Structure 1
Amino acid sequence: MSGELLTKFLLCAVAMLVVCRLLTAVMARLNQPPVVAEMLTGIALGPSLFGMVLPDAQKWMFPDQSRPVLYALGQMGIAFYMFLVGLEFSSSLSKGSGLLRRCISVSLAGISVPFLLGVGTTAWLFSSRPDMVPEVGGTSGALYIGIVVSITALPMLARIIEERGLLGSRTGTIALGAGAIDDVVAWLGIGLMLTLTASGEVSPLVTALGFAVFAAVLFGVVRPGLKHYLIRSEGRQETGTSFLVLVCALLFAACAVTEFLGLHVVIGAFALGLAFPKNEALSRWTATVRPFAVGVLLPFYFVYTGLRTDIQLLGSFAMVTGVLLFLAASVVGKLGACTAAQLWHDRDWAQAAQVGVLMNTRGLIQLVALNIGLETGLLTSTVFAQLVVVAVITTVMTSPGLSLVERLQRKRRVKGPAVVGPDAVRVH
């Protein structure tokens, strides 16, 4: 990297962090979590706003040569964060009985219903608008859109759960578990579509078998080995730098495996967090790493993806109609189906509604999938722009939706005594 390019990259980093903090302050006044500000920062600094107003300045500050560095920093940020989420999730899961069964049923409902609605909506749009049919054909395009519509953005979901104070609660644990299953299934589906269209490098069979082996090694070899290492090092001061190096090496290795298998790095990081044995040294490490990972590295992940998004294609009535149809299929399919699935297990409408609202979060993981579809010819630029808007809207809906459920529950409690049980949702 030349001196000029390094200067541009550093200026780019400064601009992202400053704009992100400013938008975070604005979003806080609108009762939106910082993750929404990070998503909007990327879109604002990309071709959608900055590139439209000052195209030459945008190209100078964000040259293509600096994108790989931004990408690497973003992936490191999301890897550290999802590892921390996996640690908390494993502790929460061990506290409750029957939560895994609930996670699976909520995930299945939240995948199947929006997938079918997404495919049906796409088929109807393709029949009326032939220009929206992708190069690879209408069937492949419709199936891919169904997969994209059924995605829950696990990293964004995790951040919202933490920022709302739900991390460790029954609601947050169910949503995180279902979101993790959704993510694995979605990336397997994307791998299948890329294979069928000769666009993928790893077959779905290799991905599934490879992930099974990865999980077996992680829980059958790595976890016992770490327990033995931590027991031997108890009472000694060798768990400082050496422990930091060990955790980072394992984290990067886990992310490399899942990325090689065609899954996202968040799967490897989250799985390692689930498998990692808890002890005092790990608690000290997480307390040290979390501020830097969340406050500095993680915004690069959201901003980089936003830089690849151009929503200037919106403008016609047909485009708006498509956005509304996809939005209806996404919200009804995801929020409605997940709420119904959770309500079937526990007759707590507030908890079920919160789970449904959380699962409806899509965010930039959906944008990543959309960019893959656009690059491989599974999506046209028109459909891509429509679904980008849907991803933003469904993410912005999450915080107001949770606040609405909490207000309704408080009013209900004021009118009469609520039934309190082991499945009662925690309100913040």
Structure 2
Amino acid sequence: MSADILTKFLLCAATMIAVCRLLTAVMARLNQPPVIAEMLTGIALGPSLFGLLLSDVQKWMFPDQSRPVLYALGQLGIAVYMFLVGLEFSSSLTRGSGLLRRCLSVSLAGISAPFLLGVGVTAWLFSSRPDLVPDVGSTSGALYIGIVVSITALPMLARIIEERGLLGSRTGTIALGAGALDDVIAWLGIGLMLTFTATGEVSPVVTALGFAAFVAVLFGAVRPGVRWYMARTDDEQGTGFLALLCALLFAACATTEFLGLHVVIGAFALGLAFPKSEALSRWSATVRPFAVGVLLPFYFVYTGLRTDIQLLGSAAMVTGVLLFLAASVLGKLGACTAAQLWHDRDWVQAAQVGVLMNTRGLIQLVALNIGLEAGLITRTVFAQLVVVAVITTVMTSPGLSLLEKWQRKRRVNASPPAELARVS
């Protein structure tokens, strides 16, 4: 990297962090989590806003040569963060009974219903209103859209769960577990679609078998090996332990990336398998602020830089957005709520799970970019589904706030009046 490119990269990194912090303060006043600010930062600094207003300046600050560095830092940030989420998730999973069964049923409902609705809406639009979904007439395109609308963005979901104080709760644990299963199923489906279009490098069979072997190695070899190392060394806070942890993290992410999945799956799986200790908890508390505050925004900003929503310039395109949004929300939020309600009969908790699972965010944008590059969707459909991803993510925080308000009101109504309490 030349000195000029390095200078531009450092400048764009500083600009990115400054804009992100500014938007975070604005979003806080609107009761939106910082993750929304990170999404909007990437979109604002990309061709959708900055590139529209100051095209030459935007291209100068974000040249193509610096994008790989932004990408690498973003992947590092998301890997570290999802490893930390996996650590917390595995601890939460041991509390309470039946959580795995609930996670599985919520995941299956949250994958199948939006998939079927997405495929159905796409097929109906193409047969009745092809102007709303231009050039998406193939079966592969409709199936891919069904997969995309069924995605739950695990990194985004984890951020919101943490920021709302739900990490470790039954609701947060069920949503995280179901979201992780959703991601695995969705990426397997994406790999299958890429195989059909002859653009995937790894077949779905290799992906499925390879991932099963990867999980077996994590829990059968890596977990006892790390536990053996930790029992025989006092270097758990030193460079030796840190080097071992980073090597395992990078290897896990490389494995799932090679298998056609995403680095978040490898990092999350390693966090699940990693043996817990008090020293590791102290280490994660130290690393988390840097990973969340500095590295993680690179992930969201890089993906946002590739997004251009200027293609939505007609009423027909907006109609397509609304139809895809209805299929996404009814399929994901509705089905997940029903699945959780079937288990616990607590409609508030069930609705909280449904609202959380409806979070899509930039993981959906990653899948959309893959489909666009593979020719499975067009730029117009891409822009329509980008708007759906943003709206469903923005819906999460107000939805949770409303449910919390109803929950508090229900508790107050269930409590005896003060006069009766004093008499008794």
* Class of the TM-score when normalised by the shorter of the 2 chains: over 0.9
The answer as to whether partners of 1:106 and 1:178 remain within 8 angstroms in 2 is yes
Cα distance, 1:382 vs. partner?
1.1
Aligned 1:11-410 pairs, distance under 5 A: 11-130=11-130, 137-233=137-233, 236-237=234-235, 239-410=237-408
Deviations 1:173-216 (A, max 9, x none): 00000000000000000000000011111100000000000000
Cα distance, 1:239 vs. partner?
3.9
Deviations 1:81-125 (A, max 9, x none): 000000000000011211000000000000000000000000111
Supply the AA of the counterpart residue of 1:178.
Answer: A
Cα distance, 1:291 vs. partner?
1.0
Supply the AA of the counterpart residue of 2:109.
Answer: A
Distance (Å, rounded) in 1 between the aligned partners of 2:220 and 2:345: 37
CA RMSD of aligned residues (A): 1.2
Cα distance, 1:240 vs. partner?
1.0
- Structure 1 equivalent of residue 420 of structure 2: none
Distance (Å, rounded) in 2 between the aligned partners of 1:62 and 1:182: 33
Supply the AA of the counterpart residue of 1:13.
Answer: A
Distance (Å, rounded) in 2 between the aligned partners of 1:342 and 1:176: 13
Distance (Å, rounded) in 2 between the aligned partners of 1:26 and 1:252: 35
Distance (Å, rounded) in 2 between the aligned partners of 1:389 and 1:138: 23
The answer as to whether partners of 2:202 and 2:260 remain within 8 angstroms in 1 is yes
Distance (Å, rounded) in 2 between the aligned partners of 1:413 and 1:136: 50
Q: Secondary structure at the match of 1:314?
A: coil
Supply the AA of the counterpart residue of 2:39.
Answer: M
Cα distance, 1:3 vs. partner?
0.3
The answer as to whether partners of 2:131 and 2:316 remain within 8 angstroms in 1 is no
Q: Secondary structure at the match of 2:232?
A: helix
Q: Secondary structure at the match of 1:361?
A: coil
Cα distance, 1:22 vs. partner?
0.1
Q: Secondary structure at the match of 2:308?
A: coil
Worse-superposed segment, 281-290 or 381-390: 281-290
Change (3 A) 1:389 1:38: same
The answer as to whether partners of 1:134 and 1:379 remain within 8 angstroms in 2 is no
The answer as to whether partners of 1:133 and 1:141 remain within 8 angstroms in 2 is no
Q: Secondary structure at the match of 2:376?
A: coil
The answer as to whether partners of 1:135 and 1:378 remain within 8 angstroms in 2 is no
Distance (Å, rounded) in 2 between the aligned partners of 1:360 and 1:118: 14
Distance (Å, rounded) in 1 between the aligned partners of 2:415 and 2:177: 31
Distance (Å, rounded) in 1 between the aligned partners of 2:312 and 2:131: 15
Cα distance, 1:134 vs. partner?
7.1
Distance (Å, rounded) in 2 between the aligned partners of 1:322 and 1:132: 5
Cα distance, 1:381 vs. partner?
1.0
Cα distance, 1:285 vs. partner?
1.6
The answer as to whether partners of 2:126 and 2:136 remain within 8 angstroms in 1 is no
Worse-superposed segment, 124-133 or 153-162: 124-133
Q: Secondary structure at the match of 2:48?
A: coil
Cα distance, 1:166 vs. partner?
0.1
Cα distance, 1:282 vs. partner?
1.0
Change (3 A) 1:95 1:5: same
Worse-superposed segment, 254-263 or 403-412: 403-412
Distance (Å, rounded) in 2 between the aligned partners of 1:350 and 1:237: 46
- Structure 1 equivalent of residue 421 of structure 2: none
Cα distance, 1:281 vs. partner?
2.4
Change (3 A) 1:374 1:134: farther
Distance (Å, rounded) in 2 between the aligned partners of 1:327 and 1:89: 30
Worse-superposed segment, 388-397 or 224-233: 224-233
Supply the AA of the counterpart residue of 2:224.
Answer: P
Distance (Å, rounded) in 1 between the aligned partners of 2:201 and 2:105: 31
Supply the AA of the counterpart residue of 2:210.
Answer: G
Supply the AA of the counterpart residue of 2:325.
Answer: L
The answer as to whether partners of 1:86 and 1:269 remain within 8 angstroms in 2 is yes
Distance (Å, rounded) in 2 between the aligned partners of 1:120 and 1:227: 49
Distance (Å, rounded) in 1 between the aligned partners of 2:9 and 2:356: 35
Cα distance, 1:129 vs. partner?
3.9
The answer as to whether partners of 2:236 and 2:280 remain within 8 angstroms in 1 is no
Change (3 A) 1:131 1:200: farther
Deviations 1:233-281 (A, max 9, x none): 2xx3464111111111100000000000000000000000000000122
Distance (Å, rounded) in 2 between the aligned partners of 1:106 and 1:127: 32
Supply the AA of the counterpart residue of 2:205.
Answer: L
Change (3 A) 1:222 1:130: same
Q: Secondary structure at the match of 1:372?
A: helix
- Structure 1 equivalent of residue 422 of structure 2: none
Q: Secondary structure at the match of 2:72?
A: helix
Cα distance, 1:130 vs. partner?
3.7
Distance (Å, rounded) in 1 between the aligned partners of 2:285 and 2:314: 49
Question: If the length of structure 1 is used for normalisation, what is the TM-score?
Answer: 0.95
Distance (Å, rounded) in 2 between the aligned partners of 1:68 and 1:134: 31
Q: Secondary structure at the match of 1:202?
A: coil
Number of residue-to-residue matches in the alignment: 416
Distance (Å, rounded) in 1 between the aligned partners of 2:314 and 2:300: 28
